[in-house]
A = this chain, B = another copy of it.
Amino acid sequence: MHENAGMTIRVGVIGTGNIGTSHAHDLASRVAGSTVTALFDADSDRADALASELGAAALPTFEAVVASRDVDAVLIASPDQFHAEQALACLAAGKPTLCEKPLAPLAEDARAVMDAEVAGGRQLIMMGFMRRFDPGYAELKSQLGPDGIGDPLIVRNTHRNEIAPYGLDSALSLTNAAIHEIDINRWLTEDEYAWVHVLTGRSGPLTPPGQHDPLFVLLQTTLGTIVEIEMFVQSQLGYEVSCQVTAGHGVAEMGDGAYVTTMRARQRGHALPAQWLGRFQEAYRLQLQGWITHLGTGGPMPGASVWDGYVDAVTATAAIASLRSGERVPVVLPPRPGLYA
């Protein structure tokens, strides 16, 4: 049987900012088996323009997108604080959903979504932690384990942005940015965290009073793997993500994956992207293709689950507590619901 044969998933998009627009273009033109039929944005002019470009309907509310009979599945790409409410609406409507990370900035809101999905008895929501689809991380993970370099002992992550577009807020650095590392290291190590400790120290020259940047986030998993994150939001460097795993029989490091090296004016090197889309564009497309193929064929959900989104939010919430107290904070999780076994 042809994997996607004959079936086209009609997607409704909530939120048409940078990332929502990028997703909509991918679904319309670079993903097999999907089309965009409806969308909503608080900025109706922005929504109208994209709807016109894609031949979709711009609807007046996110609820209208969820309810639309022309929408088989929903993509949530609104600001972080709306994710939980909109995800609950999708669950209520019984529509499969791809929800941008985080599930919610704080653990309790994420918990409500998980409880609702568990009550419904089936997994409808996939979380948009797109790094799980990135060729770099995929290759890194493939090096681990008994056939590779062994068990991970220490994982050192670097996450640098050029500048914080809306100003620097250290708590947001954890819930919106470092949440990527919180998630991907659980996926890499196949383990949960025991505690988190956020260290602060000397800050970069652009850091306003009362804020800290870089943050040095330290975690340890239940099996003892040490995970470290340098999270530097206003590094002035461009966008850079790297991850080095020291394992029992070797070391593997994921870097830029640059194809082209240039030499000019006594310098040899390669360019860094300005933004995350320059690094993870392919991961986003692969995530969308994986989601659409999953919906079309009924195979297992290929990305992060609501359980993952919830655990990540618990960890980020603990990290904020550590940032404020200066102390190590345990990561306390409920038993994993059977739905996510």
CA distance A154 to B32 in the complex (A): 41
Question: Could you mark each residue 242-269 of chain A with 1 if its beta carbon is under 8 Å from any beta carbon of chain B, else 0?
Answer: 0000101111111111111111111111
- For A53, the chain B residues whose CB sits under 8 A away are 1-2
List B contacts of A89 (CB < 8 A). Answer: none
Contact between chains at A266 and B271 (CB < 8 Å)? yes
Q: Is A282 an interface residue (CB 8 A)?
A: yes
Q: Does A140 contact B (CB under 8 A)?
A: yes
- For A143, list chain B residues within 8 Å (CB): 260, 262
Knowing A268-B256, A271-B266, the reply to whether A249 touches B205 (Cβ < 8 A) is: yes
CA of A236 to CA of B251, assembled, Å: 10
Pick out which of these stretches binds chain B: A41-49, A77-85, A169-177, A226-234: A226-234
Q: Mark A20-31, 1 if CB is under 8 A from B, else 0.
A: 000000001111
Contacts of A18-68 to chain B: CB distance below 8 A: 28-36, 53-56
**Are B268 and A54 in contact, CB atoms less than 8 angstroms apart?**
no
A115 at the B interface (CB under 8 A): no
B272 touches A269 (CB 8 A): no
When the two chains form their complex, are residues A269 and B268 in contact, meaning their CB atoms are under 8 A apart? yes
Interface residue A240 (Cβ < 8 Å from any Cβ of B): yes
Q: How far is the CA of A214 from the CA of B224 in the complex (A)?
A: 12
CB contact under 8 A between A255 and B261, given known A1-B53, A156-B230, A267-B267: yes
* Segment with Cβ contacts to B, from A105-113, A117-125, A180-188, A196-204: A196-204
Contact of B225 with A228 in the complex, beta carbons under 8 Å: no
Q: Which of B36, B268, B293 makes the CB contact (< 8 A) with A272?
A: B268
A70 within 8 A of B: no
Question: Which residues of chain B are within 8 angstroms of A240 by Cβ–Cβ distance?
Answer: 263, 268
Known interface pairs A236-B265, A248-B205, A266-B271; A136-B32 also in contact (CB < 8 Å): no
A228 surroundings in chain B (CB, below 8 A): 216, 228
| Contact partner, A201, options B29, B153, B216, B259, Cβ 8 Å | B153
Nearest to A274 among chain B residues (CB) is: B266
The minimal Cβ–Cβ distance linking A295 to chain B, given in whole angstroms, is 13
Q: Residue on B with the closest CB to A263?
A: B251
Residues of B within 8 A of A216 (CB): 154, 226, 228
A220 located at the interface, meaning its Cβ lies under 8 Å from any Cβ of chain B in the complex: yes
Taking CB atoms, residues of chain B closer than 8 Å to A205 are: 150, 248-249
A206 nearest in chain B by CB position: B248
Are B259's CB and A136's CB within 8 A?
yes
Question: Which of B140, B225, B266 is in CB contact (< 8 Å) with A237?
Answer: B266
Answer whether A259 and B255 are a contact pair too, CB < 8 Å, given A199-B226, A223-B202, A225-B202.
yes
Sample 13 A-B pairs with CB under 8 A, ordered by A number. Answer: A2-B56, A3-B28, A31-B32, A150-B205, A153-B202, A160-B251, A205-B249, A235-B246, A237-B263, A252-B260, A267-B269, A267-B272, A268-B270
Closest 7 CB pairs of A and B: A269-B269, A2-B55, A136-B259, A201-B224, A238-B266, A202-B224, A257-B259
- Beyond the given pairs A149-B262, A267-B269, 13 more chain A to chain B contacts, judged by CB atoms under 8 angstroms and listed by A's residue number, are A2-B35, A2-B36, A30-B32, A156-B156, A156-B230, A160-B251, A199-B218, A205-B248, A238-B265, A250-B263, A251-B264, A252-B263, A266-B272
